Structure 1
């Protein structure tokens, strides 16, 4: 097994947290949406993010990284920002009478934050090829989800 850098461990920890938070945020968005089709789509994105977190945890364990105990400063900040973001989904839902467009806008913002975290992780020095591969794949799927959310807003 190759030596894993602190940067790689931080990347895994941050991305697991981002995806766990994204799964919660999308589930809350699904609960607030009025359109049955939108509820279904948002629930699918919630499941996708939970699966991403699971994949990352599994691969991290193969490298000897414990994502359960690895609350990095960056991860704590990202998690706090994401918690605030989830709160905005709830607040905006109440204020706008659960306007689906407002909910989609918040989901779009959440995906933008996730994409930035993935791009930062891909810049980590010493990132193993296997890690880079899964991170790039997930980044592409999050970008596709964000683009779909953007198109639903229109």
Structure 2
């Protein structure tokens, strides 16, 4: 795999992390339960830290790290805002949209791991992927709790 290919994969994951950061921050604003607000804020900080780690790797491979989130993320956040208005900031609805966003992150990381990444990069991506899976599972569990 060339350096440019590694940089491209990493920049895609940076975009995913930025999407997660912004998405979780939006969810924190829309949630009414203070425990959820704290959870979402902590997850946003984790996504931001993951993006910084990936940006460092991009620089190590001689590239310019991505600094923005995707258009899809902006659309998704807007959908969260609209759905929250319609449902009166119902925490379950916010969690459902958050879970949808985390499913997209799981997909992005699993796709990246199908690539022939250098071992040092693969190690970071696999570790972060485990965090993404944990986020997804926690959001799903919280959503199920709010279903009751």
Distance (whole Å) between structure 1 residues aligned to residue 66 and residue 15 of structure 2: 9
Which structure has more RCO (C-alpha within 8 Å, separation ≥ 6)?
A: 1
Residue by residue over 1:107-140, the C-alpha shift from the partner in whole angstroms, topping out at 9 and shown as x without a partner, is: 1111110111111111123x11111011100110
1:103 aligned onto 2:94: yes
Distance (whole Å) between structure 1 residues aligned to residue 14 and residue 66 of structure 2: 9
Residue by residue over 1:63-117, the C-alpha shift from the partner in whole angstroms, topping out at 9 and shown as x without a partner, is: 1121138x9xxxxxx8122211111111111010000001001111111101111
Which residues in structure 2 correspond to 1:23-34 (within 5 Å)? Answer: 23-34=21-32
Q: CA RMSD in A?
A: 1.7
Per the alignment, residue 143 of structure 1 pairs with: 133
User: Runs of 4 or more off by more than 2 Å in structure 1?
Assistant: 3-7
Per the alignment, residue 12 of structure 1 pairs with: 10
Taking a change above 3 Å as real, the CA distance of residues 146 and 68 of structure 1, as seen in their structure-2 partners, is closer
- Calculate the TM-score normalised by the size of structure 2: 0.91
Which of the residues 83, 91, 94 maps onto 2:82? 91
1:118 aligned onto 2:116: no
Unaligned runs of at least 5 residues, structure 2: none
Which residues in structure 2 correspond to 1:41-52 (within 5 Å)? Answer: 41-52=39-50
